[in-house]
A and B are shown apart, each in its own frame.
Chain A
Amino acid sequence: MTAAPTSVPITYTSGEQVEVYRFSVPVTIGIPLLALFIQAFVPLRFPTFAAYFDLPLLVTIFFAMARRNPISGLFTGALIGLAQDMLGHNKIGLYGIAKTVVGYGASSLGVKLDVENAGARFLVTLAFYLVHSAVYFIVARGLVRMTQQWSWRYGILAGLGNALLGVLIYYGLDRFKQRT
Chain B
Amino acid sequence: MDSLLGRYRNLTILVGILFLQVLGLAVQVKRGSGEDTRLIRIWAVGAITPFERGLVWIQTSSSNLWHNYFYLRGVRAENRQLRQQIEDMRLQDVRLSEDAAQARRLQALLEFKEQFISKTVAAQVIGSSGSDLSRVVYIDKGENAGIKRDMAVITAEGIVGKVLTAYPAVSQVLLISDQSSGVGAMLEKSRLQGVLRGTPNGEVVLERVMADEQVQVGETVLTSGGDQIFPKGLPVGRVTRVGTGRDLFLSIKVKSAADLSRLEEVLVVVEKQEQQPVAEDNVHIRAADILAQRLPTVPDKTTDASSASTTNGANHAGSANPATPSAQVPKSASKSETEATAANSASAGTAAPAGQLKGNVAQTPAKNGTAHPVPTTAVVVESGATNPGASIKPTTQSKPAKASPPPPNPQPPTDDGGPH
Residues of B323-337 contacting chain A, CB below 8 A: none
- For chain B, the count of residues having a C-beta within 8 Å of the partner chain is 51
Q: What residues of B have a CB within 8 angstroms of the CB of A93 in the complex? A: 21-22, 24-25, 28
| Bound form: Cα–Cα A139–B174 in Å | 22
B7 within 8 A of A: no
Cβ of B107 to closest chain A Cβ, rounded Å: 37
User: Given known contacts A89-B34, A91-B29, A100-B18, is B130 in contact with A39 (CB within 8 Å)?
Assistant: yes
- In the complex, what residue of chain A is closest to B263 when comparing beta carbons? A44
List residues of chain B with CB under 8 Å of any chain A CB: 9-10, 13-14, 17-18, 21-22, 24-26, 28-29, 34, 37, 40-41, 43-45, 47-48, 51-52, 55, 125-134, 136-138, 164-165, 172, 174, 178-180, 200-202, 261-263
Given A43-B130, A78-B21, 6 more contacts at CB 8 Å? A33-B47, A41-B52, A44-B263, A86-B44, A87-B130, A139-B25
- Chain B proximity of A141: nearest CB distance (Å): 11
CB<8 Å pairs between A and B, sample of 7: A39-B131, A40-B138, A43-B128, A43-B130, A44-B126, A90-B133, A149-B201
Whole-angstrom distance between the Cβ of A147 and the nearest chain B Cβ = 6
Q: Mark A71-95, 1 if CB is under 8 A from B, else 0.
A: 1001100100011101111111111
In Å, the complex CA distance between A92 and B20 comes to 12
Q: Interface digits, A18-50 against B, CB 8 Å rule (1 contact, 0 not)?
A: 000000000000000100110111011001001
Give the docked Cα–Cα distance between A143 and B178 (Å). 19
Distance in Å from the Cβ of A112 to the closest Cβ of chain B?
A: 13
List the A side residues contacting B128 at CB < 8 Å.
40-41, 43-44, 50
Set of chain B residues within 8 Å of A8, measured between Cβ atoms: none
Q: Contact size class for A? A: 35 or more
Answer whether residue A167 sits at the interface, using C-beta atoms and an 8 A cutoff.
no
Contacts of A83 in B (CB 8 A): 44, 47
The reply to whether B200 and A91 contact each other, CB–CB distance below 8 Å, is no
Q: Do A89 and B51 contact each other (CB < 8 Å), given the known contacts A104-B14, A143-B22?
A: no
> Contacts A92-B28, A100-B18; is A41 near B55 (CB within 8 Å)?
yes
A89 & B201 in contact (Cβ 8 Å cutoff): no
CB B126 to nearest CB in A, in angstroms, measures 8
**Would you call A148 an interface residue if the criterion is a C-beta within 8 Å of the partner chain's C-beta atoms?**
yes
Complexed CA–CA distance, A120 and B307 (Å) = 82
Interface check A3, CB cutoff 8 A: no
User: With A37-B48, A41-B55, A47-B261 as given contacts, are A88 and B25 in contact (CB-CB < 8 Å)?
Assistant: no
Contact of A147 among B24, B136, B200 (CB under 8 A): B200
**Given A41-B127, A50-B130, are A94 and B44 also a contact pair (CB < 8 Å)?**
no
Asked whether B129 lies within 8 Å of A89 as measured between CB atoms, the reply is yes
The verdict on A126 contacting chain B, using a C-beta distance below 8 Å, is no
Which of A87, A89, A100 contacts B174, CB < 8 Å?
A89
Q: With A100-B14, A147-B200 given, is the CB distance from A87 to B45 under 8 Å? A: yes
Top 6 nearest A-B pairs (CB, nearest first) are A88-B134, A86-B44, A39-B130, A47-B261, A88-B129, A40-B130
Contacts A74-B17, A86-B41, A91-B29 given; does A40 touch B127 at CB 8 Å: yes
